Amino acid sequence: MNSEWLVYIKFVGLWIALMLMIGVMLS
């Protein structure tokens, strides 16, 4: 298993969560 992939997926998940939270605040 590539640990790099897991780190990449984690960062993508955090980024999506952050964008969703910002979208909820602005709407």
pLDDT tens digits in sequence order for the chain, 27 residues long: 689 999 999 999 999 999 999 999 998
Half-sphere exposure of 16 (CA within 13 A, CB side): 6
Radius of gyration of the CA atoms of the chain, in A: 12
Q: What are phi and psi of 2, to 5 degrees?
A: -90, 115
Q: Which domain holds residue 22?
A: 1-27
Residue-level pLDDT at 17: 98
- The model carries a pTM of 0.62
Domain count, the chain: 1
